Amino acid sequence: MTSDSATRRPVGYGTLVAVWAALLLLTAATVFVTRLDLGGYKVAAALAIASLKGGLVIAFFMHMRYEGWLLRGLLFLALATLALFIGITFFDVLYR
């Protein structure tokens, strides 16, 4: 494993502020998109933008962009597990 990472290069303030600005823009986008009449796709659109925002927070604020494959893989494992829990439940709910 990597040695003590206390000396890892810090994420610059400029980068952080840029990410924050992007997040605000995406928030506005979410509000805008959900005012449109998209029917069933509204949920998908909102979740897609939310996932994008979440991805930015994880990658830059939580430093995942600078972490190794282990941590990323484990995060994927956790999220995949939740997705499977929801998805397999829908085998019941969708077909009653």
Partner 1 sequence: MKQAERTRPAALGGFWGDTGKTGIGAWLLSTDHKRIGLLYFWSVLGFFLGGVVLGLVLRLELMAPGRTIMGPQAYNALFTVHGVVMIFLFIIPGIPGAFGNLIMPIQIGARDVAFPRLNLLSWWLYAAGAAIILLSLVTGGGPPDTGWTFYLPFSGRTATNVSLAVFGVFIVGFSSILTGINFVTTIHRLRAEGMSWGRLPLFVWSLYATAWVQILATPILGITLVLIIAERVLGVGLFDPGRGGDPLMYQHLFWIYSHPAVYIMVLPAMGVVSEIIPVFARKPIFGYKMIAFSSLAIAAAGSLVWGHHMFTSGMSDTAVLVFSFLTFIVAIPSAIKVFNWVSTLYRGSISLDPPMLFALSFILLFSIGGLAGLILGAAATDVHVHDTYFVVGHFHYVMFGGAGFAFFAAMHYWLPKFYGRMYARRPAVIAWALMFVGFNILYFTMKVLGMRGMPRRYYDYLPEFAGLNLASTIGSWILALGLAVMLVNLFRGLWKGEPVTGANPWGGATLEWTVPTPPPTENFAEEPVVTHGPYDFRGKGTP
Partner 2 sequence: MSHAPHRDYAGAKLGMWLFLFTEMLLFGGLFILYAVYLHRYPGEFAAAGHRLDLVLGTANTVILLTSSLLAAMAVTAVQRGEGRIAVLALGGAVLCAGGFLAIKYAEWSVKFSHGIYPGSPSLVAGPPGESVFFGLYYLTTGLHGLHVLIGGVLLAVVALRVKGGRIHAGDHIWLENGALYWHLVDLVWIFIFPLYYLML
Amino acid letter, residue 46: A
Please tell me whether residue 66 binds partner 2 under the rule CB under 8 A: no
**Does residue 59 contact residue 36 with C-beta atoms inside 8 Å?**
no
The answer to the question of residue 6 lying near partner 1 (CB under 8 A) is no
x-marked contacts with partner 1 along 47-76 as a string, rule CB under 8 A: -----------------------x------
Tell me how crowded residue 10 is: count the other CB atoms within 10 A of its CB: 9
Q: Degrees (nearest 5) of the Cα angle 63, 18, 26?
A: 95
> Rounded to whole angstroms, how far apart are CA atoms 77 and 64?
14
Q: What is the contact surface with partner 2 in residues (CB under 8 A)?
A: 1-2, 4-6, 8, 10-13, 16-17, 19-20, 23-24, 27, 30-31, 34, 40, 42-43, 46-47, 49-50, 53-54, 57-58, 60-63, 70-71, 74-75, 78-79, 81-82, 85-86, 89-90, 93-94
